[in-house]
């Protein structure tokens, strides 16, 4: 299977009301600009991805990524990813190009993109280690922060921090 075409569309979604994003203080963002990417293969599969990006990302993909990806096997994502990193030297970030590749991997395997890392048997790996119990590492973390053992005990007895399960306090 080989990539035979990549299409990018810039889609502008106007927002219903003012939106002041935390990453752009004092600015109103009147719309959401996204790039929709489709990677088409010679076997009829199409991988789809989208990201919050603009015209710059679409141009970067069309000029610098597509020429390297055409003719390549889209299921070798790890082999294609370095091209994306190198491309960012020349243009806008194009991390969004990995999404349609992983979508293709999932479609070829007959799985949605999310569980691809768990294999075709759809079995999730078992828990290798139980999560820590409430308060299990409090003393260690506070000691590393400079608290003495007596201060940690006082905090636990006052109910400021959780004591270990099975301990009083």
Rounded Cα distance, 84 and 134, in Å: 42
Nearest to 80 by CA among 98, 58, 53: 98
Going by C-beta distance under 8 Å and a sequence separation of 6 or more, which residues neighbour residue 78? none
* Structural domains of the chain ordered from first start: 3-118 (3.30.390.10), 127-169 (no CATH)
Mean pLDDT, all residues of the chain = 83
pLDDT at 73: 95
Q: Do 78 and 67 contact (CB within 8 A), yes or no?
A: no
pLDDT in tens, 11-47: 998 989 888 888 888 888 888 889 999 999 999 999 9
Per-residue confidence band for 128, with pLDDT thresholds at 50, 70 and 90: low
Per-residue confidence band for 124, with pLDDT thresholds at 50, 70 and 90: low
- Name the more confident of 25 and 169: 25
pTM confidence score: 0.62
Nearest to 75 by CA among 93, 96, 102: 102
């Amino acid at each position: 299977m080989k990539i035979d075409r990549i299409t990018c569309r810039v889609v502008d979604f106007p927002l219903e009301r003012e939106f002041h994003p935390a990453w752009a203080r004092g600015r109103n963002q009147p719309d959401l600009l996204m790039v929709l990417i489709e990677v088409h293969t010679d076997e009829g599969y199409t991988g789809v991805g989208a990201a919050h990006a603009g015209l710059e990302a679409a141009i970067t993909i069309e000029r610098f990524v597509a020429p390297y990806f055409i003719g390549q096997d889209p299921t070798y994502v790890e082999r294609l990813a370095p091209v994306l990193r190198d491309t960012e030297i020349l243009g806008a970030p194009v991390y969004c190009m990995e999404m349609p590749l992983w979508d293709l991997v999932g479609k070829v395997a007959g799985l949605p993109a999310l569980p691809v890392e768990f294999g075709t048997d759809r079995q999730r790996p078992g828990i290798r280690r139980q999560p820590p119990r409430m308060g299990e590492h409090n003393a260690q973390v506070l000691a590393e922060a400079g608290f003495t053992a007596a201060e940690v005990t006082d905090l636990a007895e006052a109910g400021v921090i959780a004591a270990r399960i099975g301990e009083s306090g």
